[in-house]
């Protein structure tokens, strides 16, 4: 396992990086990568490689990687597919141990491409190089300003955080998801591409020991080595949640996903049972991949399955209860002490769902009431976690009450909180969401997603308990 | 039925409206309503009623509704609960036939409130007034600038469209959902509140004959008269889709929803079967309530279950296929004619999922290619509907290609299209979405939602076929 760890370090923590291939202007290519690295403040060395440029973006261009005199940890190859074998051999001569092959036209295209892919795997094995890809946009590690995606993203930085995302698709790369606008905190991103060499097991082993990674979210269409995957997952999920979205769940999906997923997809129920055994939490929808990890990355685990709900309306409470029940969550009756405290604040706040709607309409000084209600509910021994609903009203400064309350909570809360914000103006919802995310509280895009995150946290916590 | 139709017209199409109650400054109350009506361009007469004001917002204030000499179609009562019975009697004396009781503190609060609620129902029956509420924000009818919500929404207009939303919660009112920012088109909004009189059946009968309404979305916690609901739904769903989100599906949810839903919620499976018989399409999540109707309101129904997918990545195609399969959709092999046309445009575009990712990276003139690909796929006899995925790239003007293509499509397309937009910047995604919505193409917030909308359209279309 230490070998994987060490090799994958070259992909995620390189001190030097060669960018081999097209350097022309545009929204795709090596120039985009070099610019993105500069924008993100990459501290390592960058070596653009191209036979016919002398300089781009103030950096010297090398005509071959062999002309770089310093050590190169990672090579990024963005060329036509036919050029890849020779370039890999040159990388090997140079002593490079890790290569990201962005080029497409391999097994994903046709039989000729599949032959070429087998050829580069052969080279990699012979020369002792590990390959990520081909047909990938590579990796990102925001802590060191590393991003290898050759597509223009339109923003400079991804926030450093605890979530690692690995996927057999480019849909997780910086150009495909608004990491920046959502103030989304990432430890590592890994696009497996065709997975000819580095795969989900290698990544899991690396991330399992990566101190920056608190939760691992995977999207897979196929699992290369099912047994190894389950073994590695079992080990890692003991200390870090492993969340998996696997497509090809249905016969239709498996058929479309075709050759490479056929075998496992046909046995999705068996695979699902195996995942459960191995402690892997299965996701259902594409957005789950981005949303569910947020709770694990920032909140403590719940100690039990009792979810308190604070809401502006009863309906949201009932919908949240329905959703929670499917994950084994129950909405407790609050303790008599809590109930009487809440009643003293405002009659009718509720003994199960805490409906603050009527209070917030009439209360002149709702600020202090609000903080007190949250603290009271969270202190209740009957409560293990909280689903909190915020209304982002259109009145000037009306979101401050939430921000102030969460600022106080941040200093001292031991129960997970999942937040959903609704309201009449999209920008107000986004802005408040970003501020709370920056405070370390996950905000979810819909109410059921928030509850699902708590539900999956409970499932993970329960399994951990059972293992102890 | 004509009686309901006529009475509910007073709620949704009043020519004159009295606003009775608090007129002080703030984010809640009668002043907010008067201002909102003025901002929305309400063409009818507005009569503010309050004993101690002379004038607000340039309008004369009447000390009692009885002082209004002209006819009043609709009264909106926003006062303390104790004042409501007398005000209703005054309305009756004035000849008002419809009253929206915003006031809370009725059956939703306690037994005393429940007694008061029975009292106002009694008055209504005796005096021949219909009541919407109590504990409601009332209605909206964007076509005539009618909005009765006493909460500040922070925007002036809701776009007129084909979607009617009725709900036993305030979560659908203008202050709770960003109708304006999403360019969301509404025919009618109705918040039932405590449903002491006007209920889902009255609303269904009215909307069934409302030419502006193309699809009806309901949120209910309880169904007052199950038999009538199913009968009315059966009749109306023959010509307009009726979509229902009902909470209290689980035992937990039913327990929390408590007294008023107990009976039906306990038999959710039976209710579900009855809905199916009556042609009611059941929704699952809160967002479904807003998103699924968009397809019905703007797109033709699919003639079969074959869904084409145009995407930038294979993964999205497989996930969409999985989701579609759960609604009976299948992803067809494109016809040989289509396949060869696509191959001539770009090799490897695909025979099932049309993966335009590689093409869009390399093609210099992707504009013309893109239009041709969409037209070719939509023309294929093997295709009944289209799930189309757009990448909102960060390059200046890069969304124009989609806009232009959809502008052309708008003039001539007979198959429903559901669109999902992804990309690196939230504002770009929103802006493109709004533009396409304005063209009449529904854009969904996540990929599975888009597919689900096509799936539910197919379920509705199939039932309609079977009935014929």
Q: Which H or E element spans position B84?
A: helix B84-94
Instruction: Say if CB A57 and CB A35 are below 8 A apart.
Output: yes
Please tell me the predicted confidence (pLDDT) of residue A271.
87
pLDDT mean over B332-341: 95
Chain A: residue nearest B452 by CA? A285
CA distance A285 to chain B (A): 7
**Separation in Å, CA A52 to CA A23, A56, B215:** 10, 11, 61
This prediction has a pTM of 0.96
Digits of tens for pLDDT over chain A (468 positions)?
A: 455 557 799 999 999 999 999 999 999 999 999 999 999 999 999 999 999 999 999 999 999 999 999 999 999 999 999 999 999 999 999 999 999 999 999 998 889 999 999 999 999 999 999 999 999 999 999 999 999 999 999 999 999 999 999 999 999 999 999 999 999 999 999 999 999 999 999 999 999 999 999 999 999 998 888 999 999 999 999 999 999 999 988 888 888 876 444 344 557 888 889 999 999 999 999 999 999 999 999 999 999 999 999 999 999 999 999 999 999 999 999 999 999 999 999 888 888 899 998 888 777 667 778 999 999 999 999 999 999 999 999 998 889 999 999 999 999 889 999 999 999 999 999 999 999 999 999 999 999 999 999 999 999 999 998 887
Chain B: residue nearest A326 by CA? B250
Residue whose pair of structure tokens reads 């023309």 in the numeric block: B379
Of residues A179, A251, A256, nearest to B353 (C-beta): A256
User: Six-digit token pair at B13?
Assistant: 């199409």
CA distance A49 to chain B (A): 21
Please tell me the predicted confidence (pLDDT) of residue B5.
56
Of residues A256, A314, A426, nearest to B430 (C-beta): A426
- Label residue B363 by pLDDT band (50, 70, 90): confident
A326 contacts B250? CB cut-off 8 A: yes
CA distance A71 to chain B (A): 32
Please tell me the predicted confidence (pLDDT) of residue A364.
66
Q: Which pairs from A446-449 meet CB under 8 Å and 24+ separation?
A: A446/A420, A446/B285, A446/B286, A446/B287, A447/A316, A447/A319, A447/A320, A447/A323, A447/A387, A447/A389, A447/A420, A447/A422, A447/B286, A448/A319, A448/A320, A448/A323, A448/B285, A448/B286, A448/B287, A449/A287, A449/A288, A449/A291, A449/A292, A449/A420
B271, pLDDT greater than 90: no
Please tell me the predicted confidence (pLDDT) of residue A5.
56
Rounded CA-CA distance B114/B116 in Å is: 5
Distance, C-alpha B238 to centroid of its chain: 19
Rounded CA-CA distance B332/B382 in Å is: 6
Q: Which H or E element spans position A390?
A: strand A385-391
B357 contacts A424? CB cut-off 8 A: no
**pLDDT tens digits, residue range B202-229?**
999 999 999 999 999 999 998 988 999 9
Instruction: Say if CB A314 and CB A353 are below 8 A apart.
Output: yes
Rounded CA-CA distance B29/B36 in Å is: 11
Rounded CA-CA distance A319/B245 in Å is: 10
User: Six-digit token pair at B354?
Assistant: 């049309």
Chain A: residue nearest B332 by CA? A256
Q: Between B266 and A1, name the one with better pLDDT.
A: B266
Instruction: Say if CB B171 and CB B236 are below 8 A apart.
Output: no
Please tell me the predicted confidence (pLDDT) of residue B390.
97
pLDDT mean over B26-41: 96
Integer-rounded Cα Rg, in Å, for chain A is: 25
- Label residue B256 by pLDDT band (50, 70, 90): confident
Instruction: Say if CB B452 and CB B284 are below 8 A apart.
Output: no
Please count the helices (runs of H) and the strands (runs of E) in chain A: 17, 19
Chain A: residue nearest B362 by CA? A28
Centre a 10 Å sphere on the Cβ of residue B434 and count the other Cβ atoms it contains.
15
B348 contacts A109? CB cut-off 8 A: yes
Residues in chain B: 468
pLDDT mean over B126-143: 97
Instruction: Say if CB B442 and CB B294 are below 8 A apart.
Output: yes
Of residues A252, A361, A426, nearest to B178 (C-beta): A426
> What b/e sequence results for A102-130 when a residue is b if at least 16 CB atoms lie within 10 Å of its CB, and e otherwise?
bbbbbbbbeeebbebbeebeebbeebebb
Q: Please list every residue in chain A whose beta carbon sits closer than 8 Å to the beta carbon of residue B430.
A: 426
Rounded CA-CA distance B335/B352 in Å is: 10
Q: Between B468 and B116, name the one with better pLDDT.
A: B116
**Separation in Å, CA B218 to CA A391, B7, B280:** 22, 20, 10
Centre a 10 Å sphere on the Cβ of residue B46 and count the other Cβ atoms it contains.
17
**pLDDT tens digits, residue range B446-463?**
999 999 999 999 999 999
Q: B243 has which bridge partners? A: B217, B281
Instruction: Say if CB A109 and CB A99 are below 8 A apart.
Output: no
- Best to test chain A binding among B147, B310, B322, B449 (most A CBs inside 10 Å): B322
Instruction: Say if CB B188 and CB B139 are below 8 A apart.
Output: yes
Q: Please list every residue in chain B whose beta carbon sits closer than 8 Å to the beta carbon of residue A447.
A: 286
Please tell me the predicted confidence (pLDDT) of residue B265.
52
Instruction: Say if CB A187 and CB A210 are below 8 A apart.
Output: yes
Of residues A108, A317, A393, nearest to B27 (C-beta): A393
Please tell me the predicted confidence (pLDDT) of residue A265.
52
Sign, CA dihedral A355-A357-A363-A368, equals positive
- Label residue B263 by pLDDT band (50, 70, 90): very low
Instruction: Say if CB A440 and CB A409 are below 8 A apart.
Output: no
Instruction: Say if CB B120 and CB B195 are below 8 A apart.
Output: no
Please tell me the predicted confidence (pLDDT) of residue B258.
65
CA distance B280 to chain A (A): 19
Chain A: residue nearest B348 by CA? A109
**pLDDT tens digits, residue range B410-440?**
998 899 999 999 999 999 999 999 999 999 9
Least Cα distance to A455 among A312, A311, A243, A218 occurs for A243
Q: What percent of chain B lies above the pLDDT cut of 90? A: 84
Q: Is the previous residue joined to A193 through a cis bond, with omega within 30 degrees of 0? A: no
B1, pLDDT greater than 50: no
3-class secondary structure, B72: coil
Least Cα distance to B97 among B16, B204, B211 occurs for B16
DSSP letter for each residue of A264-318: HHHTHHHHHHHHHHHTEEEP-STTHHHHHHHHHHHSPPPSSSBEEEEESSHHHHH
Rounded CA-CA distance A50/A253 in Å is: 41
Please tell me the predicted confidence (pLDDT) of residue A350.
80
Please tell me the predicted confidence (pLDDT) of residue B259.
42
Please tell me the predicted confidence (pLDDT) of residue B351.
85
SS3 string, A352-372, reads CEEECHHHHHHCCCHHHHHHH
Rounded CA-CA distance B59/B37 in Å is: 12
User: Six-digit token pair at B49?
Assistant: 């009623």
pLDDT mean over B49-62: 96
Q: Please list every residue in chain B whose beta carbon sits closer than 8 Å to the beta carbon of residue A318.
A: 221, 247-248, 253, 256-257
Strands A417-422 and A443-444: parallel
B104, pLDDT greater than 60: yes
**pLDDT tens digits, residue range B384-402?**
999 999 999 999 888 999 9
A257 contacts B176? CB cut-off 8 A: no
Centre a 10 Å sphere on the Cβ of residue B176 and count the other Cβ atoms it contains.
23
Q: Please list every residue in chain B whose beta carbon sits closer than 8 Å to the beta carbon of residue A361.
A: 28
């Amino acid at each position: 396992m230490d070998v994987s760890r060490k090799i994958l370090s070259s992909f995620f923590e390189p001190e030097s990086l060669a960018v081999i291939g097209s350097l022309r202007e545009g929204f795709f290519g090596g120039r985009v990568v070099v610019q993105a690295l500069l924008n993100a403040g990459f501290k390592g060395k960058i070596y653009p490689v191209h036979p016919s440029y002398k300089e781009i973006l103030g950096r010297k261009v090398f005509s071959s990687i062999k002309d770089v005199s310093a050590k190169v940890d990672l090579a990024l190859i963005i060329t036509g597919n036919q050029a890849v074998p020779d370039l890999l051999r040159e990388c090997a001569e140079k002593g490079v141990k890790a290569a990201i092959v962005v080029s497409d036209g391999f097994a994903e295209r046709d039989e000729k491409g599949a032959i070429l892919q087998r050829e580069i795997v052969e080279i990699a094995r012979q020369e002792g190089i590990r390959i990520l890809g081909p047909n990938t946009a590579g990796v990102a590690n925001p802590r060191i300003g590393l991003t290898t995606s050759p597509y223009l993203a339109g923003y400079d930085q991804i926030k450093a955080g605890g979530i690692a995302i690995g996927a057999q698709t480019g849909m997780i790369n910086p150009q495909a998801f608004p990491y920046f606008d959502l103030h989304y905190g990432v430890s590592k991103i890994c696009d497996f591409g065709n997975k000819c060499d580095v795969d989900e097991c290698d990544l899991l082993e690396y991330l399992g020991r990566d101190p920056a990674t608190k939760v691992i979210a995977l999207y897979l269409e196929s699992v290369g080595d099912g047994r190894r995957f389950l073994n590695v997952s079992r080990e890692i999920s003991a200390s870090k949640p492993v969340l998996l979205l696997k497509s090809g769940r249905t016969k239709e999906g498996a058929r479309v996903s075709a050759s490479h997923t056929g075998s496992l997809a046909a046995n999705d129920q068996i695979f699902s049972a195996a995942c459960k055994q191995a402690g892997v939490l299965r996701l259902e929808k594409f957005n789950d991949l981005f949303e569910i990890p947020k709770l694990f990355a920032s909140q403590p685990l719940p100690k039990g399955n009792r979810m308190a709900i604070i809401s502006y309306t009863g309906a949201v409470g009932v919908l949240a209860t329905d959703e929670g029940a499917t994950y084994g969550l129950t909405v407790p009756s609050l303790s008599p002490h809590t109930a009487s405290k809440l009643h003293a604040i405002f009659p009718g706040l509720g003994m199960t769902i805490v409906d603050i709607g009527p209070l917030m309409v009439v209360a002149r000084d709702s600020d202090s009431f609000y903080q007190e209600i949250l603290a009271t509910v969270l202190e209740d021994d009957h409560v293990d976690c909280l689903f909190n609903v915020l209304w982002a009203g259109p009145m000037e400064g009306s979101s401050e009450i939430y921000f102030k309350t969460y600022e106080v909570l941040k200093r001292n809360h031991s129960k997970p909180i999942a937040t959903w914000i609704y309201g009449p103006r999209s920008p107000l919802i986004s802005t408040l969401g970003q501020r709370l995310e920056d405070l370390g509280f996950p905000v979810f895009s819909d109410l059921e997603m928030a509850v699902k995150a708590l539900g999956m946290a409970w499932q993970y916590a329960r399994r951990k308990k059972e293992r102890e």
